[in-house]
Amino acid sequence: MLLVDDHAVVREGYRRLLESRPDLTVAGEAATGREALDQYRLLAPDVLVLDLGLPDIGGVELIRRLVQRHADARILVFTMHREPIYANQALRAGALGYITKSSSPDELVAAVYQVAARRKVLSPDIAPDLALALLAPSGTPLTELSPREFEILRLRLDGRSSEEIGERLSIAVKTVQNCHYQIKMKLGVRTDIELARAAIKLGLF
């Protein structure tokens, strides 16, 4: 198993929790998305437990890259984000499970076993809201965004420039700008102020 979280104390906490089970072993840890890509390539873990809030590559973008490079990757998201849009984007990018950090320790352990068996699993505290969001007749405009567009939107709303986003995601500045334009088109807004208002209204925060 590979644990990916930028907080060492948090990693240590759930390492101890998971390794209290005799059949679970943590082979490695990573604090950034780039470290996770390197560690995954070296270790080929059965399960990757991933926080979405990483300091470089965002979690959704990391999932997309991992699945693109390793089609059989079994990824469990373990995050503080309870908004359905985050779960929707993570699952669309290729994660098998999504558990919030407000879940009980037993729920995290059970989710690891489920993902190891290639079964999908959702945190009980978000499953109803996600189901309702997916059953909406037209969804929300945010569900129209690709995982990369979602990550760029998140970074843009965090105050990052096109140059910073391009460096963080290892893509050209022109690609960032084109995606930024497409995001505004999909959300039906013209300015970044309108973009921020739309993101709040649609439950991104």
- CATH number where 125 lies: 3.40.50.2300
Residues 38 and 61 in one domain: yes
End of a domain among 96, 117, 135? 135
Residues 76 and 147 in one domain: no
Say how many CA atoms lie within 13 Å of 104 toward its Cβ: 4
Q: What is the pLDDT of residue 62?
A: 94
Nearest to residue 51, comparing CAs of 117, 113, 95?
Answer: 95
Q: What is the pLDDT of residue 205?
A: 61
Residues 148 and 121 in one domain: no
CATH (domain of 194): 1.10.10.10
Distances (CA, A) of 186 to 108, 122, 144, 164, 172: 35, 27, 7, 23, 21
Range of the domain at 174: 141-201
**Cβ within 8 Å of residue 21, ≥6 positions away:** 109
pTM given for the model: 0.81
Residues 27 and 94 in one domain: yes
Residues 148 and 126 in one domain: no
Helix (H, G, I), strand (E, B) or coil at 65: helix
Residues 111 and 148 in one domain: no
Q: What is the pLDDT of residue 28?
A: 96
End of a domain among 85, 102, 135? 135
Q: What is the pLDDT of residue 139?
A: 55
Q: How many folded domains does the chain comprise? A: 2
Nearest to residue 125, comparing CAs of 77, 63, 76, 83?
Answer: 83
Per-residue pLDDT of the chain (205 residues; tens, 9 = 90+): 999 999 999 999 999 999 999 999 999 999 999 999 999 999 999 999 999 988 888 899 999 999 999 999 999 999 998 888 888 889 989 999 999 998 899 999 999 999 999 999 998 888 776 665 555 545 567 778 888 898 899 889 888 899 999 988 889 999 999 999 999 998 889 898 888 888 888 767 6
Q: What is the pLDDT of residue 147?
A: 84
Residues 86 and 153 in one domain: no
Angle at 105 between CA 41 and CA 11, to 5 degrees: 40
Cβ burial 31-44 (10 Å sphere, 16+ → b, else e) = bebbbbbebbeeee
Residues 131 and 105 in one domain: yes
End of a domain among 135, 154, 176? 135
Nearest to residue 143, comparing CAs of 92, 190, 73, 71?
Answer: 92
